[in-house]
A and B are shown apart, each in its own frame.
Chain A
Amino acid sequence: MALTDTAGGGRTRALLSVSGAFARFAFMVAATIVGLLAVTFFIGRIVPIDPVLAVVGDRAPAHVYARVREEMGLHLPLWQQFWIYVRDVLHGDLGTSVLTSRPVLDDIARYFPATLELATLGTVFGALFGVPLGVLAAVHRGGLVDQVVRVVGLVGYSAPIFWLGLLGLLVFYSQLGWVSGPGRLDVTYEYMLQPVTGMVLIDSALGGDWAVFKNAVSHIALPTALLAFFSMAYISRMTRSFMLNELSQEYILTARVKGVSERRIIWRHALRNAVVPLITVIALSYANLLEGSVLTETVFAWPGLGRYITNSLQNADMSAVLGGTLVIGVVFVAINTVSDLLYRLFDPRTR
Chain B
Amino acid sequence: MKRMAMLVAAGALMALPLAPAKAETPPDTLVMAWQFDDIISLDPAEVFEFSAAEIMGNTYERLIGYDVEDVSDIFGVVAESWDVSEDGRTITFQIRQGTKFESGNDLTAEDVVFSLQRAVKLDKSPAFILTQFGFTADNVEEKIVQTGDYEFTFEMDKAYAPTFVLYCLTSTVASVVDKDLVMENDVDGDLGYEWLKTNYAGSGPFAMRQWRPNEAVVLERNENYAEPTPLTRVIYQHVPETSTQRLMLERGDIDIARNLGPEEISALESADGIKINSGDKGGIYYLGLNQKNENLAKPEVRQALKYLVDYEAIADTIMKGQVQVHQAFLPRGFLGAVEETPFSLDVDRAKELLAEAGLENGFSVTMDTRNTPDITAMGEAIQQTFAQGGVQLELIPGDGAQTLTKYRAREHDIYIGRWGPDYQDPHTNADTFAANPDNSDDAAAKPLAWRNAWEIPELTEKTASAVLETDPGTRATIYQELQKEVMDTGPFVIMFQEIEVMAMRDNVNGFVIGPSFDANQYWKATKE
Could you list which residues of chain A lie within 8 angstroms of chain B, going by C-beta atoms?
47-50, 53-64, 67, 97-102, 107, 110-111, 128-129, 132, 166, 169-170, 173-174, 176-183, 186-188, 190, 214, 217-218, 221, 225, 298-301, 303, 307-308, 311, 314-316
Contact = CB atoms under 8 A, between A and B. Distances in A.
A98 B15 contact: no
A301 B19 contact: no
B40 A99 contact: yes
Contacts of A99: 37, 40, 213
Given A181-B248, A182-B248, A300-B244, A217 B404 contact: no
A110 B443 CA distance: 42
Interface string B227-255: 00000000101111101100110110100
A178 B214 contact: no
Contacts of A188: 25-26, 29
A214 B19 CA distance: 9
A316 B402 CA distance: 9
Contact of A101 (B37, B198, B238): B198
Nearest to B246: A174
A97 B198 CA distance: 13
When A and B form their complex, which 5 residue pairs have the shortest distance between CB atoms, in order from nearest? A218-B18, A100-B213, A60-B125, A50-B405, A178-B17
A63 B244 CA distance: 41
Interface in B246-268: 247-248, 250-251, 253
Nearest to B128: A61
Contacts of A314: 399-402
B244 A64 contact: no
A67 B19 CA distance: 52
B240 A54 contact: no
B226 interface: no
Given A57-B49, A64-B124, A182-B239, A101 B197 contact: yes
B19 A169 contact: no
A97 B18 CA distance: 37
Contacts of B215: 303
A190 B123 CA distance: 36
A64 B445 CA distance: 11
Nearest to B417: A58
A301 B401 contact: no
Nearest to A183: B237
B7 A132 contact: yes
Given A57-B49, A107-B213, A299-B244, 19 more contacts: A49-B399, A49-B401, A59-B48, A62-B446, A64-B127, A101-B41, A132-B3, A169-B244, A176-B17, A177-B21, A180-B253, A183-B237, A183-B239, A187-B237, A217-B18, A221-B18, A225-B14, A298-B241, A316-B401
Contacts of B23: 177, 180-181, 186
Nearest to B25: A187
B444 interface: yes
B405 A49 contact: yes
Contacts of A49: 399, 401-402, 405
B422 interface: yes
A64 B444 CA distance: 11
B31 interface: yes
A59 B237 contact: no
B406 interface: yes
A225 B19 CA distance: 15
Contacts of B124: 56, 60, 64
B411 to A, nearest CB: 9
Given A182-B239, A187-B235, A308-B214, A64 B123 contact: yes
A59 B40 contact: no
The interface centre, meaning the residue of A55, A97, A169, A181 with most chain B CB atoms within 10 A of its CB, is A181
B213 A102 contact: yes
B448 to A, nearest CB: 10
A299 B241 contact: yes
Given A48-B402, A315-B401, A301 B127 contact: no
A190 to B, nearest CB: 7
B205 interface: no
Contacts of B426: none
A301 B239 contact: yes
A60 B47 CA distance: 11
Given A101-B41, A102-B213, A181-B248, A59 B240 contact: no
B32 to A, nearest CB: 10
29 contacts: A49-B402, A49-B405, A50-B404, A56-B124, A57-B48, A57-B125, A59-B422, A60-B125, A63-B444, A64-B127, A101-B40, A101-B213, A102-B198, A129-B10, A177-B17, A180-B23, A181-B253, A182-B239, A182-B244, A186-B23, A186-B253, A187-B25, A217-B18, A300-B244, A301-B237, A301-B238, A303-B212, A303-B215, A314-B401
B408 A58 contact: yes
B445 A61 contact: yes
A177 B251 contact: yes
A215 B248 CA distance: 16
B216 interface: yes
Contacts of B18: 178-180, 214, 217-218, 221
A293 to B, nearest CB: 13
Interface string B115-135: 000000001111110000000
Contacts of A190: 216, 235
A314 B371 CA distance: 12
A272 B16 CA distance: 34
A149 to B, nearest CB: 13
Given A60-B125, A298-B240, A314-B400, A178 B19 contact: yes
Contact of A177 (B19, B235, B244): B19
Interface string B20-61: 011101100101010001001100000011000000000000
B401 A54 contact: yes
A186 B253 CA distance: 8
A176 B18 CA distance: 11
Nearest to A67: B123
B405 A181 contact: no
A191 to B, nearest CB: 8
A300 B15 CA distance: 19
A50 B401 CA distance: 7
B399 A100 contact: no
The interface centre, meaning the residue of A47, A53, A57, A67 with most chain B CB atoms within 10 A of its CB, is A57
Contacts of A56: 124-125
A43 B392 CA distance: 33
Contact of B247 (A64, A97, A174): A174
B244 A301 contact: yes
A173 B247 contact: yes
Contacts of B213: 97, 99-102, 107
Contacts of A303: 212, 214-215, 238
A218 B19 contact: yes
Contacts of B408: 50, 53, 58
A44 to B, nearest CB: 13
Given A49-B399, A303-B215, A174 B250 contact: yes
Given A102-B213, A177-B19, A181-B251, A59 B126 contact: yes
